[in-house]
Amino acid sequence: MKKDLSIYIHIPFCDHKCIYCDFYSVITLEKVDSYLKNLLTEINFWAEKYKEQFEVKTIFFGGGTPSFMSPEYLGEILSEIKTKFFVSNDCEITMETNPGTVDKAKMIGFKAAGINRVSIGVQSFQPDELKFLTRIHDRKQAETTVLNTVEAGIENISIDLIFNLPGQTKSQWRRNLEAALSLPIKHISPYSLILERGTILNKMVLDGKVELQDADYDADLYDLTIDFLSKNGFEQYEVSNFCLPGYKCNHNLAYWRYKEYLSFGTSGHSFIGNKRWWNFSALTFYEQAVQTKGFAVSGEEELTEKQMEDEFIMLMLRSEGLDPDQLKKRFNSLWFEQNKVFLDELISNGFLAGENNFIKFTPKGYAVCDEILSKMY
């Protein structure tokens, strides 16, 4: 019986670099054609090694801006994957997109190419916030992108929003959530603004040009988010992910359930068995490696059983919760017994909900889950 596999494809091309973004991207289309050729070579290399072991359950195009490419471009990549791997008939195939990069006709083309789920990087509906984030779209374009996606025949739609922007009030953030839920979306990923090293925003903060709001206010906005979305029928299934019933992102669940995955393209990370490896980020190094060897691995590590157990526990707790039977079956673990006192304390203080030893963060626990997990380890 074949094991489940998820595939991620990184499309690094973008029209400009947003101030907060730390994902690898390039603001040029000069190497679009050669990148496609190298992607297909890399896909073929790993398919020969792993095809017989796995059935592909999810495929995710991230970036960069995948919708910046033509439908035929992504279609050729999907065709290669479907030719070289066993791909499930109900495979979830997600494309990230930004408003302003795709119209209705192009979205129809993506649907024809095989895309059946779309994640839209809206980030905000407020003009001043969009300007601060250096986004290229306005509210109307964001709304139109969602509606065009529905009219193209793709109803599994997610949007990203960012909260705790400098000076953002609670009423401003609530208006963003209200605007999001006025649209026919099934999934929403609200993220707190995070300061990443190497970004334009990081330099602005270091230079004193931007002042971020504090952690307590961030927690208040997060509490508001959980309360608002839960009251409107969205269930929380991970720290920053909410959906209507039946619309969890299966690709992201594969990561949180500690399943295996392959990634193709610049900066891609893969995880098979007890081994993790990652590709070169720089486009030039990636292409040189693929042309020379057929793959572009720049580093790798083998995980111990203890490392894998710890990672499994943290990922499951951050998402759907931790089942003692599942943990014992996979790792023959005594973790529940060893941490009983601490877990009981978290349950009594309302940070964890426990039933038949199955534990899951409560909304109160999700708000401080990083601190709790750091204490556990």
* Whole-number pLDDT of residue 214: 78
* Whole-number pLDDT of residue 17: 63
Which residues are within 8 A (CB) of 295 and not within 5 positions of it... i.e. 6 or more apart? 42, 45, 46, 289
Tell me the three state secondary structure of residue 100.
coil
Separation CA 25–CA 14 (nearest Å): 6
* Whole-number pLDDT of residue 26: 67
pLDDT along the chain (377 residues), means of 10: 95 72 67 95 97 97 91 98 97 94 95 98 90 82 96 97 90 96 97 71 65 81 95 94 97 96 97 97 95 97 96 93 90 89 92 85 88 84
Which residues are within 8 A (CB) of 6 and not within 5 positions of it... i.e. 6 or more apart? 56, 57, 58, 59, 60, 251, 254, 255, 259, 260, 261, 262
Separation CA 335–CA 258 (nearest Å): 17
For the chain, domains (ranges, CATH) are 3-256 (3.80.30.20), 324-376 (no CATH)
